[in-house]
Amino acid sequence: MARRAATVTRTGTARPQANPLRAGLRLEKVPEPACIVVFGATGDLTHRKILPALYNLRRVGLLPPETTIVGFARRPYTDEQFRVDLKEAVSQHSRVPLQDAIWDDFAAGIFYQQGEFHEPEAYRRLSQRLDELSASRGTRDNRLFYLATPPSLGPTIIEQLGHASLDAEGRTHGWSRIVIEKPFGQDLDSARQLNRDVQRVFRESQVYRIDHYLGKETVRNLLVFRFGNGIFEPIWNRRYVDHVQITVAESLGVEGRGPFYEEAGATRDILQNHMMQLLSLVAMEPPIAFDADDLRNEKLRVLRAIDADWTEERITRDVVRGQYGPGWVGGKPVPGYREEPKVAKDSTRETFVALKLHVQNWRWADVPFYLRTGKRLAKPATEISVQFKQPPLALFKGLRADPEPNLLALRIQPDEGILLRFVAKVPGLGLDVRSVNMDFTYGSSFVSDAPEAYETLLLDAMLGDASLFTRADEVEAAWAVVTPIDRAWEAWDQGGQRPAFPNYAAGSWGPEEADRLIERDGRRWRRL
Ligand code: BG6
């Protein structure tokens, strides 16, 4: 992830770089001053993620003092009202307590622009305001547009930005970039259409499609772990690996996002993006360099190698969908999905999906990848586990039970760390063996706090480093894997073959069929 920063003439506070893959004593770069325009400025994402991330970047000196933020939304706010609103949001959601002096300095660069998203006049006014702010605050006509709006508004905003020439670069020597939140489309066709809409206005190099999982420290560490250590790469293949499991488990329900979730479901909300990204990082070949194109080329090759030839028979056999019913989570009773606000009483939307995939290339042929994700599961746990093949056991004949094979578990969250399981002799006169764990945890090995994913990603977008953002072809390749499954389910539901939902209790580990999916192959889900 080479940060090819724009020329840095500011002297922000530089912090020593932590990535061992970066040579020598390079320092973190501070981006050029810019104006960040947030569409959907009064929404949840702006409050919970974007503004706290920008505040924290500014707090540690990674954003220059000229940094300017313009919130664009429909509500009639003044600059001052907007600042008050954001101060409360940042106090509530920042990972470190808000400091008044830093906030005041930061807030002096926050402005509000009221406007309707479809109205050309609003963009003309925005453009004028950006010119004024660029002159008064010295943001050198650099602009980062952030779409924190519902996905349906994306094409309109992009088109209007084009009409107002706000996409133009070099017009007055600044850059112009756009950050687009997931979900990027609803299926393969709509993602392609959205890519066409975006590319009619912006060049691909100006587009930053966010998948916040890529900004998580532990996910970034996956690359460091795989390619910065000599001992794992030689065994990272079908000769040594029996299978890979990827779990993204949440104990939360849909948290008042009923209407969104009724559209999305676990497949579009998590599987198509976060899980496909985790899979591609685990399975990819070493890139030639840690730069945006090399990294994304390798991830794309993995996605393209996934066997997406889904027949009905294969979907029935290798994919399990589920929906939670009422149950208990953290000692409290919780309602079932169909009882959540604004969810249809007979909804067939899946809140859980488990499946088996194959990456058909020389490294991974015949190694199954088992993926599962769900809401209202027993506990939050995101983990990738690589299970190695059992060694020949003839030596250990007569043991009470076979020792468990080696396992490498990369815990993405919570309790971030890496665990290696191996077999050891139980002390004593006999030859009894048992599996033991060697466990590394971030919390005890590093004293410093990890930045939030949004801090990493926003900084990268401002530096012009797209390595942690998804490219158009990558997004489409991920949709190509999951769309046929979604389509088949829809057709079955419409044809009267509706699933018997709910099929798992909130607080459990998902439907029993998900256990059978893996147990049929003589394996089982790792207990998390
Ligand atoms: C989002 C999904 O992309 O990721 C949410 O829309 C989900 O449904 C969230 O809860 C999980 O993110 P994290 O960072 O909490 O694991």
> What are 95-120's pLDDT values in tens digits?
999 999 999 999 999 999 999 999 99
Q: Which two tokens stand for residue 483?
A: 């769309």
Domain membership of residue 294 (yes or no) is yes
Kindly report the CATH number assigned to the domain that includes residue 281.
3.30.360.10
Measured distance CA(254)–CA(259) in Å, rounded: 10
Torsion over CA of 316, 511, 525 and 332, rounded to 10 degrees? 160
Smallest CA separation from ligand 1 atom 13, residue: 213
Report CA(20)–ligand 1 centroid distance (Å): 28
104 and 233 housed in the same domain: no
The answer, yes or no, to whether residue 195 has pLDDT greater than 60, is: yes
Domain membership of residue 406 (yes or no) is no
Domain membership of residue 45 (yes or no) is yes
Residues with CB under 6 A from ligand 1: 250, 269
Measured distance CA(472)–CA(171) in Å, rounded: 26
CB 180 within 8 A of CB 212: no
Report CA(169)–ligand 1 centroid distance (Å): 33
Q: How far is CA 521 from the centre of its chain?
A: 30
Report CA(85)–ligand 1 centroid distance (Å): 24
In this prediction, residue 171 has a pLDDT band, given cuts at 50, 70 and 90, of low
Q: Which domain holds residue 75?
A: 29-181
Smallest CA separation from ligand 1 atom 2, residue: 269
Q: Is the pTM for the entire model greater than 0.85?
A: yes
Domain membership of residue 223 (yes or no) is yes
157 and 238 housed in the same domain: no
Smallest CA separation from ligand 1 atom 8, residue: 269
* Nearest-atom index, ligand 1, CA of 254: 8
The answer, yes or no, to whether residue 450 has pLDDT greater than 50, is: yes
Domain membership of residue 143 (yes or no) is yes
* Nearest-atom index, ligand 1, CA of 264: 6
Sheet containing 207-209: order of strands? 110-114, 68-73, 35-39, 143-147, 176-180, 207-209
Measured distance CA(117)–CA(148) in Å, rounded: 12
Q: Tell me the average pLDDT across 448-474.
A: 94
The answer, yes or no, to whether residue 348 has pLDDT greater than 90, is: yes
Picking from 13, 23, 10, 5, the residue whose alpha carbon sits closest to that of residue 58 is: 13
3-state secondary structure of 353: strand
Measured distance CA(296)–CA(457) in Å, rounded: 16
55 and 138 housed in the same domain: yes
Q: Tell me the average pLDDT across 255-272.
A: 93
Domain membership of residue 510 (yes or no) is yes
In this prediction, residue 19 has a pLDDT band, given cuts at 50, 70 and 90, of very low
3-state secondary structure of 427: coil
**Number of neighbours of residue 194 by Cβ within 10 angstroms:** 23
Pairing of strands 241-249, 143-147: unpaired
The residues, ordered by sequence, that sit 6+ positions from 99 with a Cβ below 8 Å of its Cβ are: 59
Picking from 106, 208, 142, the residue whose alpha carbon sits closest to that of residue 8 is: 142
Q: Tell me the average pLDDT across 422-446.
A: 89
pLDDT at position 448 is 78
Q: Of 7-16, 162-171, 212-221, 259-268, where does mean pLDDT reach its minimum?
A: 7-16
Measured distance CA(258)–CA(262) in Å, rounded: 6
**Number of neighbours of residue 246 by Cβ within 10 angstroms:** 24
* Nearest-atom index, ligand 1, CA of 211: 3
In this prediction, residue 56 has a pLDDT band, given cuts at 50, 70 and 90, of very high
Query: Which of 136, 161, 181 lies at the terminal end of a domain, its last residue?
Result: 181
379 and 511 housed in the same domain: yes
Q: Which two tokens stand for residue 95?
A: 């990972």
345 and 281 housed in the same domain: yes
Total domains in the chain come to 2
356 and 278 housed in the same domain: yes
233 and 277 housed in the same domain: yes
Identity of residue 279 = L
Query: Which of 181, 203, 231 lies at the terminal end of a domain, its last residue?
Result: 181
Query: Which of 181, 206, 240 lies at the terminal end of a domain, its last residue?
Result: 181
Share of the chain above pLDDT 90, in %: 83
Smallest CA separation from ligand 1 atom 6, residue: 269
Measured distance CA(460)–CA(39) in Å, rounded: 19
What are the pLDDT digits (tens) for 356-384?
Answer: 999 999 999 999 999 999 999 999 999 99
Domain membership of residue 358 (yes or no) is yes
Domain membership of residue 56 (yes or no) is yes
Measured distance CA(80)–CA(78) in Å, rounded: 5
Kindly report the CATH number assigned to the domain that includes residue 62.
3.40.50.720
Which of 180, 269, 271 for mutating ligand 1's site (highest number of atoms within 8 Å of CB)? 269
Q: Tell me the average pLDDT across 389-406.
A: 77
* Nearest-atom index, ligand 1, CA of 413: 16
Q: Tell me the average pLDDT across 493-521.
A: 96
Task: State the residue for tokens 């194959």.
Answer: 358
The residues carrying an active-site annotation are 274
First and final C-alpha spacing in the chain: 31
Pairing of strands 381-388, 319-322: unpaired
